[in-house]
Each structure stands twice: as structure tokens, then as C-alpha cells.
Amino acid sequence: MENKLAPSADKLILIVDDDKAIRELLQVLLQREGFRVETAEDGADALRKARAKAPDLILLDLMLPNGSGMEVVRELQEEETGAIPVVIMTGRFMDRSTSELIRRETNVREYLEKPVKTAVLSALLHKLLNTRPPIKKAGV
């Protein structure tokens, strides 16, 4: 059986970060990879958009106003949003035991420390979502 990759344009990713510059950078990166993107700047906004839009994946900063990233992770698990994969990003140093605890959450697929390498993030998202990047046209 051949493993078919879906076009990345079929997938919606919710970016949750309170830093506008990081949200915008990630949005440009993910759109260049062909993904559809929605953004949220805090925990409450993230939960509202996750419920309303049912994204295929959530890129989630741990340090957020109006509900920490961990609160968002746990609240998503309590609802029909529990199956949405979450990739945690944080600029805060976490010791190994803390990062292992976060990884054990049922909806967390990966844990990345900022600054996130764009090539690593792109490859990870395509792997998790079973997608292929858009075909780049020569000279573009």
C-alpha cells in the first residue's frame, strides 16, 4: 500500500504565541510551506479558535497571558479538541523532568525550544500531518 501525502494546503495550523513578531514569522514560514494558518495571541483566544476552527495541529507557546500553554493543553484534552496534535514551543529553559512531563500529555506530539530552526519545524509539521510541501516554481 502506497503512502500518499496530502497537499499541505489541506491542513490548518493554529499558531499561538503572545509575541506578535514570532506569530508573524511563523505565519510566513507556514504559509510558504503551503499550510493554511490561523493565529491566536493568548490562551483564551487559542481555545476559542481551536473549538471554532478545528485546526489539524496547534503550535503552542507555553508562556501565554490569559491561560498558560499547559492550561490550554489540558483544557483541549477535555473536549472534542482532544485529538488535535499540539507542538509546544518555549523560550524558557525547562529542566529535563519538566520537558518530559510536558511530552507525556496525550495531545503533545513534540516539544521545541526557541529559537526554533525553521527547517526543523517545517520537516516536523509535514511529518506529523503527513503532507508534502508545495512544488516551488523555478525562479520564484
pLDDT for the residue 24: 97
Nearest alpha-carbon partner for 73 in 95, 96, 50: 50
pLDDT for the residue 77: 94
Per residue of the chain (140 residues), give pLDDT as tens. 446 899 999 999 999 999 999 999 999 999 999 999 999 999 999 999 999 999 999 999 999 988 889 999 999 999 899 999 999 998 877 788 888 888 899 999 999 988 899 999 999 999 999 999 888 766 54
Residues near 34 by beta carbon (within 8 Å), at least 6 away in sequence: 7, 8, 9, 131, 133, 134
Q: How far apart are CA 26 and CA 18, in angstroms?
A: 12
Q: How far apart are CA 32 and CA 36, in angstroms?
A: 10
SS3 call for 98: helix
pLDDT for the residue 7: 93
pLDDT for the residue 35: 98
Domains and CATH numbers, the chain: 9-132 (3.40.50.2300)
pLDDT for the residue 92: 77
pLDDT for the residue 139: 56
CB 50 within 8 Å of CB 76: yes
